[in-house]
Amino acid sequence: MLNIVLVEPEIPNNTGNIGRLCVGTESRLHLIHPFGFVINDKNLKRSGLDYWIHLDVTEYQNVAQWMTQIPDQSRVFMMSSHAEKSYLETEFQDGDWLVFGKESVGLSAEFLALFDKKNQLKIPMSPLIRSFNIANSVAFVVGEAKRQIAAGKI
């Protein structure tokens, strides 16, 4: 099972879509406060549809609280447009932690400094855009990680 981490998510529709993706891919969702919405926001529930009740989700009041749950920090991968290594060059494993920052600014330099720089990953994209929508970004990375994990079981 993959662990999907959203640090200070701001847009309920994105979080709802990511929650639905987590249910569909049997991944856990970890949400780190503060949020830009309340968890019972109608847009969150609308995006997650009736799947939200099946979601394995945990909320943390801050990054420090979340970090106590990580058994192996070498398996934490942070998505950053400033990273040098692509997520496509990474060998994912069951149980990995895939971390995404807030929609407006991504992960802060302070957050990134908490982990090994080699675990910062980027999603290759055209220079015509600054970033992908966070729900799309999560789908790219989760899809690749699940593909690799399934291939390893064959």
Which residues are known binding-site members?
79, 101, 123, 131
Binding residue positions for S-adenosyl-L-methionine: 79, 101, 123, 131
Residue among 53, 22, 25, 24 nearest 40 (CA): 53
Alpha carbons 116 and 98: distance in angstroms, whole number: 14
Residue type at 102?
A: K
CB 108 within 8 A of CB 99: no
Residue among 33, 121, 119 nearest 73 (CA): 119
Cβ-based neighbours of 27, under 8 Å, separated by 6 or more: 1, 2, 3, 4, 21, 56, 142
